[in-house]
Amino acid sequence: MITFKKILWPTDFSEPSYEAFKTAKELALHFSSELYLVHVVTPMPPLVETPRDRPSFNVSLYRKELRSSAEKSLQEVIDKKIGERLKVRALVTIGDAAVEITRIAKRENVELIVIATQGTTGRRRFFLGSVAEKVVRIASTPILTIRAPSKEE
């Protein structure tokens, strides 16, 4: 019988990711798994030098605020949506989302990634890309993709 001791749920805090959360939580409860909640903060692109007569933008402080906000949001998910029956780890990192998700999965010996996909196609997918699609391509961990219901559903 297949069992999963560690399940990873990556989130961008979007509605589709919460659809995948429902499945990840259900599987974690069923298998008494440890559930990893992961959020990846996208790094800031390099900024050109700010003119001296204008206020500067503190990239380091902004990055810390993004990380802190993500940690708080993950804690809210734990507090509001996860009971005491589950062992949970919340992780926030900075980098390319797909690369970081697969890196964490490998480092933590995760046995299943449960990730949302919005099912975008055509031009929108070409321009925006798909984190889920990239994770599927590069991960060595088994992946369960959960497609978000369309607006018509």
Name the average pLDDT for the chain: 86
What H or E segment, with its residue span, contains residue 10?
Answer: strand 6-10
pLDDT digits 0-9 by tens, 42-76: 887 766 666 666 666 677 888 899 999 999 999 99
The Cβ of residue 91 has, within 10 Å, a number of other Cβ atoms equal to: 18
Structure confidence at residue 152 (pLDDT):
57
If you search the block for the tokens 């599927």, which residue do you land on?
A: 136
Structure confidence at residue 84 (pLDDT):
82
Q: Which fold has domain 6-147?
A: Rossmann fold (3.40.50)
Structure confidence at residue 85 (pLDDT):
82
Is residue 108 a contact partner of residue 5, using CB atoms and an 8 Å limit? no
Q: Record the pTM.
A: 0.85
Q: What is the mean pLDDT of residues 109-136?
A: 75
Q: Using CA atoms, how far apart are residues 85 and 110, in angstroms rounded to an integer?
A: 19
Q: Using CA atoms, how far apart are residues 137 and 126, in angstroms rounded to an integer?
A: 16
Query: Nearest to residue 22, comparing CAs of 98, 100, 77, 97?
Result: 77
Structure confidence at residue 2 (pLDDT):
85
Q: What is the mean pLDDT of residues 123-145?
A: 79
- Is 50 exceeded by the pLDDT of residue 125? no
